[in-house]
Amino acid sequence: MIDLGPSDANDANVRRQLSGAIVAGKLEPVIGDGVEDALAGVNGDRDGTLLATALVEAQQKFGALACKEATAAAQTAIAIGAARQAAGLATPELARAWSYVLLCADRGGDPANALVAASRLRELGGSPDVDANVLARYPDVDALSNREVVDIEIKAEVDGADVWVDFKRAGKSPLKLTLPAGPHVIAAASGSRRGTVTGTVIKKQPVIAIPMPDQAGPWAKLAARVAGWHGKVPAAAELEAVMAQVKARVALVRHGEIVEAWGHAGRGEPLRRLGGEDGTRKLSEADALVALIRDRIQGWEDRAPDPDQPLLVDTKVRRDAKEKAEEPARWWVYATIAAALVAGGVVIYAHDHQQDTQHVELKYP
């Protein structure tokens, strides 16, 4: 299943609907290891899964009134989100994670951490999870004004990596900065490599090293290729290359409210849209489209004539017959006929000039 969007809140429902139709039609969907996201143009980075897991844990622990565990999970999500932010990725998860930190600090009577969380949340544009009255209890103050400042040097594992400090871009590594003593979130990213360090800046540690593991998922290139189609069905050769990569003969291609069936019997045949007009349906008719695909697959396995292809053999026979009928006679045919006429003429001439005293007879086989 190739999902070209548009990307919106209903994506999960659309994919679930199409996957259900595929399974109900007794076909095997291509899933696992993030390939289904890649076929929707979504880069399933390794840290994306970790981020989602941390947020789910924070939500569950907060709901269970276990604020210590909820805050720890939220801080893990914040560290991961900071690295993704430095890589230029959308990070709406940051606001959610800071919401749990703020709400837990407010619930536990921890105004210092609540002030920091409220400030970060405002910088990120707020969150619907936090009531305005809660946010108002922790107004912006210059909490750093009386702190000692520390000169530090930030060295990311990759030279030239973008460096972000407390969710704001600071420059490129290596980078020398003067920061207030105290807790900070420092992230660095370059391509798919990124990392974060969190902790308290002190004079005894003037150099901060940031490890940057590669977070690219196994299907990163595939996701980038599908995303590069910008929601439009590409040329058949492009679709065929993607389907070959995931080892699929047939595919449902969704764009908007439309789904198309594409496939071929094997690599020896060109990929094509199946079923003519019947191969393009609305989302609500996905079951009928899967039935059409099953019919084509059965025909391929039975080696029956493919209704999506012209009868090339019949056309060739007719063309050969026509060419044979119109072909001029060879020269040796005319030569044989002429020789026969000459021979016949000799026999007739001899017969017409017979005399009583002479008999001439010519025999030919």
Q: What is the pLDDT of residues 157-201, one digit of tens each?
A: 999 999 999 999 999 999 999 998 888 999 999 999 999 999 888
Distance, CA of 86 to CA of 239 (rounded, Å) = 33
pLDDT at 322: 52
pLDDT at 349: 42
- Ranges in the chain annotated CATH 2.60.40.10: 149-210
Residue-averaged pLDDT of the chain:
85
DSSP line for 58-84: HHHHHHTT-HHHHHHHHHHHHHHHHHH
Most confident range (mean pLDDT) of 5-14, 206-215, 328-337 is 206-215
What are the pLDDT digits (tens) for 334-358? Answer: 444 444 444 444 443 444 444 444 5
The pLDDT of 14-41, averaged and rounded, is: 90
Given a contact cutoff of 8 angstroms between Cβ atoms, the answer to whether 279 and 289 are in contact is yes
Residue holding tokens 């399974």?
Answer: 23
Distance, CA of 9 to CA of 337 (rounded, Å) = 85
Say what the pTM is: 0.65
Distance, CA of 215 to CA of 46 (rounded, Å) = 5
Strand partners, 355: 358
Helix (H) or strand (E) holding 17: helix 11-24
pLDDT at 320: 55
Given a contact cutoff of 8 angstroms between Cβ atoms, the answer to whether 194 and 209 are in contact is no
CATH topology of domain 149-210: Immunoglobulin-like (2.60.40)
pLDDT at 108: 94
